Amino acid sequence: MSSESFLHPLAEVFIIPSSISVVKGTDVLEHLNRSLTTDTTQIGLHGKQDALLCNANGRILDRLTLCNLEEQVILVGNHGTGNETRQQLLRGVPWDQDVAILDGDDAIGHLKLVGRAVDRCLVGLGIDPTDIDLQSWTEFGSSLISRSKVGNSFVTEILVPTAEIDILVDILISNGAKRIDSVRWGELRIRLGILDSNEMNPSNLPFELGLHELVKLDKGCYPGQEIHARMDSRGRLARTLVRLDCKTPPAIGKHVLPGIGRIVVTSNAEYEGGGVALAIIPNEAKGLSELVFDDGSTAKVELI
Amino acid sequence: MSILGGDGFTLPVVTPVEVVDVQIEFTDSAKSAMKENMDGDESSHVLIISAQSGGCSGYLYDMKIAEDPNDSNFQRLDADGVTVLVHNKDSPLLDGIRVDFKDTLMGGGFQIDNPNADRSCGCGQSFG
């Protein structure tokens, strides 16, 4: 499914810390539509959709993947943001709408599988990989499975009741998957260009992170829409997220580079033979092939 | 078991709200427009002013004429014979607002000036 040489020949599985909320009620999709950056009103049963929750300044509060289970929508958000997201969504429930929000952090687990032959592991579980697509969640027992495309690769996602997560991981391992830790996941996600709360947080605007597909300016108002529309109409960005490929990754945080100015390294990882990082750099610098840090080290700039 | 059938879910999340006694100022033109819109139904219907999520700045105003819900969660105000209701949960957001009515072709209609708002969007319907 993917040809990247750094990927496992079959699959690697990671239990990814996520915030899980369940929004219930007859008016759920309408309520979410007023708050999120993409149109939620047309999600079908078992439909999957990604969206951002932003503040009035257009900055990212959370990234959410939705799963519509008919008057119950599961929201999979960034790790550590669940309480604030739930409060944010709850504060705006109108008096005459039927919407309730549950904290599912301890109830549902979230797995990600990446590799060059993830489907072979899934077949071993009795799952028909052709049933899994990008726009919906497929039921498998008490789990839900979907897929996302990241660059040239695919990431398979599984939502599973917490009580069953270890059993499912064991079955995946017995079918060839390798369980990985947060260090290996950190490397994989940076190399694949998967963003997390290190990038998607109130320091950043969606367009700076290349999240144009998660902002639908024609859907009507939502918090942050005025700022997003202004940025879109101006067509200019001050900063851009890039991947840095280097021998030793630069430290997370702010760096001032001669002739370029301030860059912010949001994530980094080392692997055998090199290092990678994600960094937000001045937009004018994105055309450079290489950045030179003040200690003389260099990093190749790759657009995500 | 389904994905939502397991253990570990909390009871519905609640947001504590500090209920305040709502004061609203209605301009003469707003009172007149409200009466006109009630169309003689003042005895059975009320005007409900509320806030809901959305809009560019976080919250949207909503005004609707509805049958009196006779719900103790609402605060009742009188504006020249028109009963205005504000839900307790919206009281901190709407206390102190000034409701005006502008009879103009462009940008006309009810206008709300809200001292609680840190920001409002260009269309005037959203605040935060």
| pLDDT tens string A132-160 | 999 999 999 999 999 999 988 999 999 99
The 10s digit of each residue's pLDDT in A83-121 is 999 999 998 899 999 999 999 999 999 999 999 999 999
**A:218-257 residues touching chain B, CB 8 A cutoff:** 221-227
As a whole number of Å, the end-to-end CA separation of chain A is 20
Instruction: Name the residue in chain A with its Cα closest to that of B87.
Output: A95
Reported CATH class of domain A238-304: mainly beta
Q: Do strands B25-26 and B98-102 pair parallel, antiparallel, or not at all (unpaired)?
A: parallel
Question: Does A87 contact B13 at a Cβ distance shorter than 8 Å?
Answer: yes
For residue A152, the model assigns a pLDDT of: 85
**Residue A162 φ then ψ, to 5°:** -55, -35
In chain A, where are the structural domains located?
Answer: 1-235, 238-304
d(CA A57, CA A279): 22
Instruction: Name the residue in chain A with its Cα closest to that of B17.
Output: A91
Share of chain B above pLDDT 90, in %: 62
Per-residue pLDDT band for B123 (boundaries 50, 70, 90) equals low
Residues of B whose CB is below 8 A from A139:
3
d(CA A17, CA A78): 8
If DSSP codes are grouped into helix, strand and coil, which group holds residue B111?
Answer: strand
CB contact, 8 Å: B16 with chain A? Answer: no
CB contact, 8 Å: B31 with chain A? Answer: no
The 10s digit of each residue's pLDDT in A209-225 is 999 999 999 998 899 99
Helix (H) or strand (E) holding B94: helix B91-94
A214, A64, A87, B65: CA torsion to nearest 10: 50
**A:21-50 residues touching chain B, CB 8 A cutoff:** 22, 24, 31, 34-35
Question: Does A223 contact B51 at a Cβ distance shorter than 8 Å?
Answer: no
Nearest residue, CB atoms, A91 vs list B53, B57, B60: B53
d(CA A64, CA A59): 14
The 10s digit of each residue's pLDDT in B10-65 is 888 887 889 999 999 999 999 999 999 999 999 999 999 999 888 888 888 999 99
Question: Does A72 contact B3 at a Cβ distance shorter than 8 Å?
Answer: no
The 10s digit of each residue's pLDDT in A260-280 is 999 999 999 999 989 999 999
**Residues 6+ away with beta carbon under 8 Å from A303:** A240, A242, A243, A286
Question: Does B56 contact A224 at a Cβ distance shorter than 8 Å?
Answer: yes
Cβ atoms of A180 and A111 within 8 Å: the answer is no
**Could you tell me the pTM of the whole model?**
0.92
Nearest residue, CB atoms, B6 vs list A92, A97, A162: A162
Cβ atoms of B99 and B26 within 8 Å: the answer is yes
d(CA A28, CA A26): 6
d(CA A290, CA A160): 42
**Is the CATH code 2.40.10.220 the one for domain A1-235?**
no
Say how many residues make up chain B: 128
Q: pLDDT at residue A73 above 70?
A: yes
Instruction: Name the residue in chain B with its Cα closest to that of A158.
Output: B3
The 10s digit of each residue's pLDDT in A176-206 is 999 999 999 999 999 999 999 999 999 999 9
Instruction: Name the residue in chain A with its Cα closest to that of B59.
Output: A92
| Interface ipTM > 0.90 | no
- CA-based Rg of chain B, rounded to a whole angstrom? 17
**Burial of A26 per CB tally in 10 Å (0-12, 13-18, 19+):** exposed
Question: Does B12 contact A162 at a Cβ distance shorter than 8 Å?
Answer: no
d(CA B33, CA B27): 10
**Helix residue spans in chain A (DSSP H):** 28-35, 82-91, 118-124, 165-174, 182-192, 225-234
Q: pLDDT at residue B109 above 50?
A: yes
d(CA A143, CA A167): 12
Mean pLDDT, chain A, rounded, equals: 94
Same fold? A1-235, A238-304: no
- Here the tokens at position A9 are 């020949």
Which residue in this structure is represented by tokens 């109108």?
A94
Q: Which one of A22, A91, A136, A166 would you mutate to disrupt binding with B, by most B Cβ within 10 Å of its Cβ?
A: A91
For residue A2, the model assigns a pLDDT of: 46
